[in-house]
A and B are shown apart, each in its own frame.
Chain A
Amino acid sequence: MEYGEDTTSVDGCSHSSPSSTRDVTVSTQSPSKLPEPEEVPSDKMAKKVRRWEVFPGKNKFHCNGRIMMARQTGIFYLTCTLIIVTSGLFFGFDCVYLAQHVTPAIPAIGGALFIFVMATLFRTSFSDPGVIPRASLDEAAELERQMEVPNAGSPGTYRPPPRTKEVVIKGQVVKLKYCFTCKLFRPPRASHCSLCDNCVDRFDHHCPWVGNCVGKRNYRYFYLFILSLSVHCIYIFACVLTNLILRAQQDNFLTAMKESPASVIEAIVCFFSVWSIVGLAGFHSYLVASELTTNEDIKGSFTARRGADSFNPYSKGSIFKNCSQVLCGPVPPSLLDRRGYVVPDSSQAHHTGNMGTNTAPDLPPPAVVTTADEMLPAGENVKKREMISYQTPDGTINNKLPPLNGTSSPPTCGGRKNHIWDMTLNQLNYMGRSNNHAAIHGTNPGSVYPQPYRHSDYLSGTSVLPAVKGNKSTMSRGCSTDF
């Protein structure tokens, strides 16, 4: 589950997984090829790493994995500040006057609304939106094997594997797209968020105001947040006007404003925000009533325009049932075992009893690179990184290293520019080990992953590229440009 569930002590506060240069040793698939486990001192081998630290997406984690947010959280802090400051001014100034002259219920109701707004905001922002963990290597290999079989008839020609699968849900044909980053066919209604680099179940949208994606697990908190915030906004506005009017009865309006300048500030903030917040709440009320996501609404997936037969197969039929389902329906726990430990020697993680929702550690193999970094003094590690310039998949040379995503090496070969960076780092590896890429992928290039990301293609520089934003040639394939 999300934050705060664990009552054990929290180790320190906010540190994001990519922020430290501490690297982790993760399991490899062919231990016989890699000599390092014996070379590393036993205390390093015993160092336990939590799974959030090697999470392949671009999320930031806090409180030792209990809190999960998007990478860019500046606007979230703005949201918090606006709400807290405005409410603070309200309680500090208007409530004092109104509690005396009208009723003490006013601050009480305001307080309850404020608590509800903040609780739902934190729930939305800090929880796992419904991220679908990336497929394990075995699953990816199996999918690739299944997709390759139909192509066996034409050995000479290169035909890309099928990227979509069709499924009929309650009479409606729905296309499931293959996600090249996560190596799975996305369930219906799931979508890949390019900002967080995760597939999210029942993806609604990525909201910078809450600093997180809005998906299956936190949609209802998001909806209740904007609903309660609109009520709170209108409530404060009404109370502020009441305050000013009551004061103006003794004098005039201008004097009232001078006596209570905080009210003026609150009125301005509320007036300008109420339009957008109420508008958004109204829009999402429509979505909840029709059992649609923002994503589906914008794409027009189930409108009559698409075809006379197009209907929403997920709708329960009535507004009441749809609302009940969205707001009161069951919510699965997080499928990411963020606080579990990574087990170095096998392909499965050790279960720490977090919720019975362990996921496969698709974290593959090779952070062997990082073992080398561990062996070097930290200062040298930094210098080594600075020495490297890397070539992005679109061919430009960049002297700035891509940020660590919480993994020291990419989870998969396919579609990640970090992959090239890591290959270069491998080649600079002082331990003189053979290129770990071979160890990662086996000696048979392209045998593990779906065709477009053959190892040989990467090396030869053919333009089989991940979907980098703006890279039109691969947009049809790339899941990261997929909305």
Chain B
Amino acid sequence: MDNMARLSSSQCTKVFLQRDFTEGTGVRFQNKFPQELEGKIDRAILERTINTVNSIYLEAESLSGRTYCESCFACMTAYIAYLCMDTHYEKCLKKVARYIEEQNKTVFVQQGLMLVDPAERGLRVFEICILTEQQNR
């Protein structure tokens, strides 16, 4: 994965899916199929991937009982607890990273594409690299 991570922009075309703010400021990416990917990948596969990623972010950002308890507990320890543990949000981001890596390995690289974890782009965009022949090998 490290090798694949070292692509410079001169080697592949990049397609960006922007953030979708219609539901508020929560992290969510637009699910419209970019024209540049026509023919390269099945629309449904990409949509399913984006939807899964969006659902993990939704879970991260929701104020569930678990998050509430975690925050209250941390407050009672004067937030020293945060030095020792990962928050629920961080765990969700790691889940997204693992999911994208797994999707890349099983589906996307074979089609000549590579998804970049949005966390590597500061949660600004969902980047899809269209790999050239050199990387496909």
Contacts and interface: CB of A to CB of B under 8 A. Distances in A.
Contacts of B23: 169-170
Interface residue SS majority, chain B = mixed
B10 A29 contact: yes
A314 B97 CA distance: 28
B119 A119 contact: no
Contacts of B44: none
Interface in B23-58: 23-25, 27
Contacts of B8: 27, 29, 345-347
Contacts of B79: 119-120, 123, 221
Residue from A185, A201, A221, A331 whose CB has the most chain B CB atoms within 10 Å? A331
A335 B123 contact: yes
A357 B119 CA distance: 5
Interface in A333-361: 333, 335-336, 343, 345-348, 350-351, 355-360
A120 B82 CA distance: 12
B107 interface: no
A67 B62 CA distance: 28
A132 B87 CA distance: 20
A471 interface: no
Interface string A18-39: 0000000001011000000000
A174 interface: yes
B68 A170 contact: no
B22 A30 contact: no
B78 A119 contact: yes
A345 B8 CA distance: 8
Contacts of A174: 21
Given A116-B78, A187-B19, A202-B25, A139 B121 contact: yes
B90 interface: yes
Interface residues of A, number: 61
Contacts of A188: 21, 24-25
A297 interface: no
B79 to A, nearest CB: 5
B16 A332 contact: no
A394 B6 CA distance: 40
Contact of A324 (B24, B63, B121, B123): B63
A287 B80 CA distance: 26
A356 B9 contact: no
B104 interface: no
Contacts of A332: 27, 60, 89, 93, 123
Interface in A96-118: 115-116
A360 B117 CA distance: 10
Given A189-B25, A330-B62, A330-B88, A348 B120 contact: yes
Contacts of A314: 24-25
B122 A328 contact: no
A351 to B, nearest CB: 7
B63 A329 contact: yes
B25 A330 contact: no
Contacts of A136: 121
B90 to A, nearest CB: 5
A359 B63 contact: no
Given A174-B21, A328-B71, A356 B94 contact: yes
A121 to B, nearest CB: 11
B6 A343 contact: yes
Contacts of A345: 6, 8
Interface of B: 2, 5-10, 14, 16, 18-19, 21-25, 27, 60-63, 67-68, 71-72, 75, 78-80, 82-83, 87-90, 93-94, 97, 117, 119-125, 127
15 contacts: A29-B8, A30-B10, A119-B80, A120-B78, A132-B124, A139-B16, A169-B23, A221-B79, A329-B71, A333-B90, A343-B6, A347-B7, A356-B119, A357-B90, A359-B122
Given A343-B6, A359-B122, 6 more contacts: A29-B8, A119-B80, A136-B121, A167-B21, A168-B22, A202-B25
Task: Enumerate the 8 nearest inter-chain pairs by beta-carbon distance, A residue then B residue, closest first.
Answer: A133-B122, A119-B78, A328-B71, A346-B6, A335-B122, A359-B122, A358-B120, A330-B89
